[in-house]
Structure 1
Amino acid sequence: MTATTDAVAAKAVPDWRGGFGRLWTAAVVSRFGDSLRTAALPLLAASLTDDPLLIASVTACGFLPWLLFGLLGGAVADRVDQRRAMWAVDLVRGALMAAFAVAVAFGHATIALLLVLAFALTTLQTLFDNAATALLPALVPTEALAAANARLMTGQQFAGGLLAAPLVPALLLAGDAVPYVADAATYTLAALLIASLRTGAADRPPRPAGSTLRKEMAEGIAALRRDRPLKWLCAATTLCNIGMGALIATLVVHVTDGRQAGTAGNAAYAATITAYAVGGVAGGFLARRVAERTGRIRAVALAGTAQTVCLVLMGTVPVLGASIAAMAVFGFMGTVWNVNQTTLMQERAPEGMLGRIAAAFRTLAVAGAPLGALLGGAAAAGWGPHTPALVAAALFALAVASLAPLIN
């Protein structure tokens, strides 16, 4: 991938009318509800236990299904109508969230229930995310993929971080179940929007006689291994996800300095994740420009280097203001990484294999997150609440180093 190719892609923009506009709206609405839930769940977990390892286990269970079902989700996404798969999954997730909201409202929430919920939602997400990645190229031309990914991620960050995160403390004052009721409603609305999409039949090569899901999953892994840029990018992302698992699983403990989250802790946590979202939104506006100047791989390496510095700052300067500033830059660079990573995958995947390649990439990359979450919990319990940030910094530094073979 050259800087010249990046420049051509950067000038194209997707048409908001029709399919892309509805997909964008569905993604933004869904992320709004998801962010309410993901911000509220750690606080709920912290109110149920003061054990950092148990709190981190909730995050770990939210990643584990990718190891078990990620490849299967990609193979299914390449076989079925991706639009129908997405809206059906959202309806099921909405029903699960509504049931969970009832349990919280009547005081039946437990750590065990949080673990089951996290596992179930992510199991469904393995199909949804792979189908969404494969569906986007059917809605926008190839030269507009970078812009489409940037707009999707920017809108999601804006809705999830700037709109949803600051609302969490106020919604919790209205009732512990309110964030989960809102999440259930957004899943339903997103399902309706996706169901309204009108896309043509997927242009897929016919499957060979005797082809099975197991063989098709293996084909996705083999295709990823053959593609040198995607292979090394996957290795780097895996290392980063181990670090992210350690950081995110213990972020509420980091922000509250190891104490149970009360009203002040809730506000500090909301401010930190809001800063991350602000940075993410800004990154969405500039991700294509960074890639235009440097090329996609160099843009990813630059982003990872800056994120490493942010993590070192968080681990060595245990002050709330420093964490907020670091998370803002961390979010900016995270969007630069994600936009260019996703676009590169969509541009390089062979016809009819994007779902499986995306699944292989995500499964391998996400595989480290449960380990990272448990590692972060153990580090916080053994050496203090700010240690996981330093663990994450070391892993991000290794990730940047692993990209060296791709940088000429």
Structure 2
Amino acid sequence: MTQSLTKRWAIDVRPLSIPAYRRMWVGNAVSFFGFQLTAVAVPVEMFAITDDSFWVGLLGIAGLVPLMVFGLWGGAVADAVDRRRLLLASSVLMWASTAGLLVQAVLRVESPTLLLGLVAVQTVAFAISSPTRQAIIPRLVGRDLLPAANTLSHTTTSASAVVGPLAAGLIFGTMGTEAGLPVAYGVDVLFFAISFWATYRLPPIPPGEERASMGLRSVVDGIRYLATTPVLLLSFAIDLIAMVLAMPRALFPQVSEERFGGGGAVGWLYSAIAIGAVVGGLTSGWIGRVRRQGVALTAAVIAWGVAIGFSGFADQLWLVVLLLACAGAADLVSAVYRQSILQTYAPDKYQGRLQGVFITVVAGGPRLGDLRAGAMAGPWGVTLAWAGGGFAAAILALALVLAFPALLRYRISSADG
């Protein structure tokens, strides 16, 4: 009985038996811990320099344009060249941009414009490396293990997203902002070396027989294919709604100071969503058995919006963390199904380009959400910017899938690639 329950609910670890995937999994988990320190440090530094949440929101825009351009182009390149080599090259650029953040913190430049520029460069590297990395996974594990591999990846990066912000909160709470910034950026630079090693150890992953070009025509071909697949379009659209309208992270530094007295509270806010994702991942044995993945994806997006909405009204830190964690658990489920539907539905020759569109939506949505939240907080207040966006996302996502029900009808058995 105990073994049956464990098999039904515990996370599926079968992909870890594949050495190449296992190394990538370890490297990504460790490097993502360092990246989370930077993800907290940059907005904290920006708020410390400007004392304005609008500038914190502008960090999202600084990353949005390079994300859109290089996400789409990087996906096309990933379909045309050896994906391992492309991942190595983009990793070097990511490493250099993080080192730049470290240097400016050590020198105490205190320039919001420089911060925006370094975030833009870092996003260029991220926009190329992320679709490439995701396009590699189906080659490593095969179609049957994709839901399990995606769940493992999301769960472990979420675990890093728990420990990373909490560590950042501890650093800033004990050392202060000025002394803590170089430490946070320095750990990120150091830990990224492990991810680079894991990428270096990957086998060559050349393009398939139908090699794509690296120009605009290749990007257009990928978008044209996407336009003919309502299931993928709708999965992208409801995620965009959820992230633009219901992502409150640009408000975390201000809420931490005004409601909870600063200090380590900012770390709890930044880690709360990831805490829920980890709990959801560790009890995710059921995810691979769901056939109506479109319905499950839609339900998870609606649950995200509702949980975010209620968390915006909470004035106790433990309650905000709990509600954000519920949102994080829903987000893990939606992320796994979005990625699995894409990797299963699209043929390998389009994987890089569609992953480029995917990462543009998935990472671009929160950046637009940062701008929306930061811009609304000034004239309408933090509560409306936070809670109103959450409930609006849930309502709009439900209305969209009811109006265009292709996603609700999607079953995994219908995905024949």
**Alignment TM-score, normalising by the size of structure 1:** 0.89
Whether 1:196 aligns to 2:178 is no
| Structure 2 residue ranges without an equivalent (≥5) | 1-7, 410-417
Aligned residue in 2 for 1:167: 167
| Counterpart residue identity of residue 200, structure 2 | A
| Structure 1 residue ranges without an equivalent (≥5) | 1-6
Equivalence map 1:18-97=2 (5 Å): 18-97=19-98
Aligned residue in 2 for 1:319: 316
Name the CA shift for 1:364/1:167 in 2 (closer, same or farther; >3 Å). Answer: closer
What is the deviation of 1:212?
Answer: 5.6
Aligned residue in 2 for 1:393: 391
Whether 1:403 aligns to 2:401 is yes
2:359 maps to which of 336, 358, 362:
362
What is the deviation of 1:83?
Answer: 1.3
What is the deviation of 1:148?
Answer: 0.4
Name the CA shift for 1:332/1:20 in 2 (closer, same or farther; >3 Å). Answer: same
| Counterpart residue identity of residue 382, structure 2 | P
Cα distance in 2 for partners of 1:401, 1:285 equals 31
Q: Give the conservation status (yes or no) of the 8 Å contact 1:62–1:122.
A: yes
| Counterpart residue identity of residue 83, structure 2 | Q
Aligned residue in 1 for 2:240: 238
Equivalence map 1:196-275=2 (5 Å): 196-199=201-204, 201-207=206-212, 213-245=215-247, 247-257=248-258, 264-275=261-272
Q: Give the conservation status (yes or no) of the 8 Å contact 1:74–1:359.
A: yes
Cα distance in 2 for partners of 1:233, 1:373 equals 21
Q: Give the conservation status (yes or no) of the 8 Å contact 2:138–2:343.
A: yes
Equivalence map 1:290-301=2 (5 Å): 290=287, 292-293=289-290, 295-301=292-298
Q: SS where residue 176 of structure 1 aligns?
A: helix
Q: SS where residue 312 of structure 2 aligns?
A: helix
What is the deviation of 1:361?
Answer: 3.1
Q: Give the conservation status (yes or no) of the 8 Å contact 1:24–1:152.
A: yes
Q: Give the conservation status (yes or no) of the 8 Å contact 1:290–1:299.
A: no
Q: SS where residue 328 of structure 1 aligns?
A: helix
What is the deviation of 1:344?
Answer: 0.7
| Counterpart residue identity of residue 196, structure 2 | A
Aligned residue in 1 for 2:276: 279
Deviates more, 1:143-152 or 1:235-244: 235-244
| Counterpart residue identity of residue 17, structure 2 | W
Cα distance in 1 for partners of 2:259, 2:374 equals 11
Q: Give the conservation status (yes or no) of the 8 Å contact 2:239–2:301.
A: no
Q: SS where residue 203 of structure 2 aligns?
A: coil
Cα distance in 2 for partners of 1:97, 1:21 equals 25
Deviation per CA, 1:190-234, whole angstroms, max 9, x where unpaired? Answer: 112210112454434144xxx561111011111111112111111
Deviation per CA, 1:55-114, whole angstroms, max 9, x where unpaired? Answer: 211133233322232211110111121112112222222122123212101211321111
Whether 1:184 aligns to 2:197 is no
Q: SS where residue 210 of structure 2 aligns?
A: coil
| Counterpart residue identity of residue 393, structure 2 | L
What is the deviation of 1:291?
Answer: 5.8
Name the CA shift for 1:167/1:106 in 2 (closer, same or farther; >3 Å). Answer: same
Whether 1:350 aligns to 2:343 is no
| Counterpart residue identity of residue 233, structure 1 | S
2:332 maps to which of 307, 318, 335:
335
Cα distance in 2 for partners of 1:37, 1:378 equals 23
Cα distance in 2 for partners of 1:99, 1:12 equals 37
Aligned residue in 2 for 1:115: 116
Cα distance in 1 for partners of 2:13, 2:369 equals 38
Name the CA shift for 1:45/1:293 in 2 (closer, same or farther; >3 Å). Answer: same
What is the deviation of 1:46?
Answer: 1.5
| Counterpart residue identity of residue 186, structure 1 | F
Q: Give the conservation status (yes or no) of the 8 Å contact 1:205–1:351.
A: no
What is the deviation of 1:241?
Answer: 2.1
User: Percent sequence identity over matched residues?
Assistant: 25
What is the deviation of 1:43?
Answer: 1.3
Report the RMSD for the aligned CA atoms in angstroms: 2.3
What is the deviation of 1:145?
Answer: 0.5
What is the deviation of 1:287?
Answer: 4.2
Name the CA shift for 1:187/1:90 in 2 (closer, same or farther; >3 Å). Answer: farther
2:286 maps to which of 268, 284, 289:
289
Q: Give the conservation status (yes or no) of the 8 Å contact 1:242–1:372.
A: yes
What is the deviation of 1:178?
Answer: 0.7
What is the deviation of 1:387?
Answer: 2.0
Name the CA shift for 1:108/1:314 in 2 (closer, same or farther; >3 Å). Answer: same
Q: Give the conservation status (yes or no) of the 8 Å contact 1:273–1:327.
A: no
Cα distance in 2 for partners of 1:63, 1:111 equals 17
What is the deviation of 1:31?
Answer: 0.7
Deviates more, 1:185-194 or 1:310-319: 310-319
Q: Give the conservation status (yes or no) of the 8 Å contact 1:66–1:126.
A: yes
What is the deviation of 1:244?
Answer: 4.4
| Counterpart residue identity of residue 34, structure 1 | F
Name the CA shift for 1:375/1:17 in 2 (closer, same or farther; >3 Å). Answer: closer
Aligned residue in 2 for 1:4: none
Deviates more, 1:385-394 or 1:179-188: 385-394
Aligned residue in 1 for 2:302: 305
